[in-house]
Chains A and B, each alone.
Chain A
Amino acid sequence: MAEENKPAPAAGGSRANTKKELPEHFKAYKHVWVAVEIEHGQVHSVSFELLGEGRKLADKRGVELAAVVMGDDRASLDAAAVACFEYGADCVYLAQDPALKHYRNETSTKVLTDIVNTYQPEILLLGATNLGRDLAGSVATTLQTGLTADCTELAIDDEGSLAATRPTFGGSLLCTIFTLNYRPQMATVRPRVLAMPDREEGRTGRIVEFDPKLVEDDVITKVLDFIADRDTDKANLPYADIVVAGGLGLGSAENFQLVKELAEVLGAEYGGSRPLVQKGWITSDRQIGQTGKTIRPKLYIAAGISGAIQHRVGVEGADVIVAINTDPNAPIFEFAHLGIVADAVTLLPALTDAFAARLRVNRLAS
């Protein structure tokens, strides 16, 4: 069991008493790392978003930014390394092995843990995707260190520690979490929570090869097949330019159609708040918020959504947030850029018509 790796626990231990000396054997841990997510040869954009943020953290600490890339195909690993350099990495740890063809918890946990133990980073960031969460939980347990999931903000505090902020209590408040006495300090961030950094063409760095020493016969779990999703009717909320969403203020599942009609005229994606998923008005892949999708559109229209924190953190990256709500004191007006106090059920059809008139198209609804 992983227990044997556990460093001596720090004495004391009340969370109020947080001023503690980092144990001696952790003082060598240095640099900020991003574990890059590669599936089917493609780097997930969340990894570049993390490199953008990691660059800022590394500069604040005066250390290097490194990326870890793992896979089986040399060409796609090299391409991933180039992209990592151009998005801000100084160094890429590259692990190539036939057993890393597909993501598997067993192989990736072993390789990432081995690289961490060999090169000792102070901060390790992963995307809060299914892959990243699956991997981060195993790696943190193996290393016996702290892991903060689904952060909405990362910063370095005055003492040089990672301050990881995330929603808490079901998304009703925010909290800032530290891992003071263990290394690396680990955190995951959802796609689109952080801005995509600019790509600096031609920027380069050094590659450190790492031999994973995997033997396929020793790996228990086998990948038999991959059933790709059909593209039809699959929501792509995180990367949509315009998003229209509805909340409980719509009053009924039937009225959600009004959101879809506006979305259609605008060529937008549509979604809803968490209670709508719980009521079965929309499917979970269209849920917007902390436990659903994080979006960063140019325009976000929220109809009948009150704007609880768990929703807010999922939409704050939008350039322009428009709120339609009957309650002038609804929290959504505290972070919207533009608002109107009105009943979404009557305003939405009029808004759809007004947009259609402006864009000289006829309303497409029946």
Chain B
Amino acid sequence: MHIVVCIKQVPDSAQIRVHPVTNTIMRQGVPTIINPYDLFALEEALRLKDRFGATVTVLTMGPPTAAESLRKALTFGADRAVLLTDRYFAGSDTLATSYALSMALLKVAEEFGKPEIIFTGKQTIDGDTAQVGPGIAKRLDYNQLTYIARIVETDTDAGTIKVERRAEGGLQVLESKLPVLITMLEASNEMRRGSIENALIAARAEVVTWNAAAVGIEDLTKCGLRGSPTIVKKVFAPTARTDKAEIVEVDGKVDAKAAALVEAIFAKAPAVEQDLLEHAAHHYV
């Protein structure tokens, strides 16, 4: 069995700072990480590798420095790393990204065998769109299984897979046929630790690096900004509310502050006070 895990290298959002004057992102010095949601996808792929002896390929699209994240994935136990990188991909929205990745996945299939399962995380922490996984599935005509909480069973002989999918109010139990694209839900498993042995392999491993031409993209108008139907017209910081917050200032003990805050809250939200008093009358008389 061949499994491909699509990952993305993202800025560690906990450490992103916005310039106070220009409202632009200060990217300098912000460390990058593997998109945390992708780790659940990677771990699930490695579990299938443990069980079925599958080969796991990790694929990413990004700048040449994204190779770091691929090597990191190798330390966890992935077998092969593929980097798709080209300046023509700059500015891709989700539609253009899923196009480039689907072309790379066709090339992966040609070079290393057709993947029975493609995994992605449920979304990224920088874009938060959750659109690239479904985009790849549609383009490659893979059966799409999103928000998967658990893979119940995989029958490689019959070519079937049974999963539990997070839906409104419960879990949908679905059975589908390989090949499938799965987006894993967060907290669906716990990422293993990388091994020293794998770290040594990863340090020496060759990262297969392809550009647009290498994956057979001839029409560059489908890539990057030109291939993106969405247009970002402005980026801005939200403005403060026109009426500033009323600040409760009370000298003295914390009890006095708390009492003053309760009065101020009820003054702002009389309906809430009404509800609470009625509720209290019913329950605590």
Which residues of A pack against B, CB within 8 Å? 1-3, 6, 9, 12-15, 18, 37, 39-40, 44, 102-106, 109, 129-131, 133-134, 136-138, 140-142, 144-150, 163, 167-182, 220-229, 241-242, 266-267, 275, 278, 283-284, 290-291, 298-299, 301, 309, 312, 319-320, 322-323, 328, 333-342, 346-347, 350-351, 353-355, 358-361
Contact = CB atoms under 8 A, between A and B. Distances in A.
Given A223-B173, A338-B268, A173 B237 contact: yes
A131 B236 contact: no
B208 interface: no
Given A18-B233, A37-B168, A283-B187, 20 more contacts: A130-B147, A136-B131, A140-B131, A141-B138, A145-B229, A146-B229, A149-B131, A168-B232, A169-B25, A174-B237, A228-B170, A291-B123, A291-B125, A320-B265, A320-B268, A334-B240, A340-B261, A347-B258, A351-B258, A354-B259
Contacts of B174: 104, 221-224
Nearest to B224: A13
Interface of B: 11, 13-14, 16, 18, 23, 25, 36, 91, 93-95, 98-99, 102, 123, 125-126, 128-135, 137-141, 143-147, 162, 164, 166-177, 186-187, 221-222, 225-238, 240-241, 244-249, 254-255, 257-259, 261-262, 264-266, 268-269, 271-272, 275-277, 279-280, 283-284
A182 B126 contact: no
Contact of A133 (B99, B130, B279): B130
Given A13-B221, A179-B231, A284-B187, A347 B268 contact: no
Contacts of A2: 138-139
A266 B279 CA distance: 10
B134 A138 contact: yes
A141 B254 CA distance: 57
B170 A227 contact: yes
Contacts of B25: 169, 172-173
A176 B233 contact: yes
A130 B176 contact: no
Q: Which of A2, A40, A180, A360: most chain B CB closer than 10 A?
A: A2
Interface centre among B169, B264, B275 (most CB of A within 10 A): B169
A358 B269 CA distance: 15
Contacts of A355: 262, 276
A144 B272 contact: no
Contacts, number: 295
Contact of B265 (A147, A169, A322, A328): A322
A15 B229 CA distance: 10
Given A131-B167, A320-B268, A340-B248, A221 B176 contact: yes
A322 B267 CA distance: 12
Contacts of A1: 102, 139-141
Contacts of A228: 169-170
B234 A175 contact: yes
Contact of B238 (A13, A109, A309): A309
Contacts of B283: 361
B258 to A, nearest CB: 4
A148 B230 contact: yes
A351 B237 CA distance: 33
B181 to A, nearest CB: 10
A4 B283 CA distance: 65
A291 B121 CA distance: 14
Given A137-B133, A340-B248, A176 B234 contact: yes
A177 B241 contact: no
Q: What are the 9 tightest A-B residue pairs by CB atom distance, in nearest-first order?
A: A137-B134, A170-B13, A13-B226, A146-B229, A350-B258, A334-B240, A146-B230, A225-B173, A149-B129
Contact of B255 (A130, A141, A338, A350): A350
A147 B230 contact: yes
B137 to A, nearest CB: 7
Given A146-B230, A174-B236, A39 B167 contact: yes
A241 B275 contact: yes
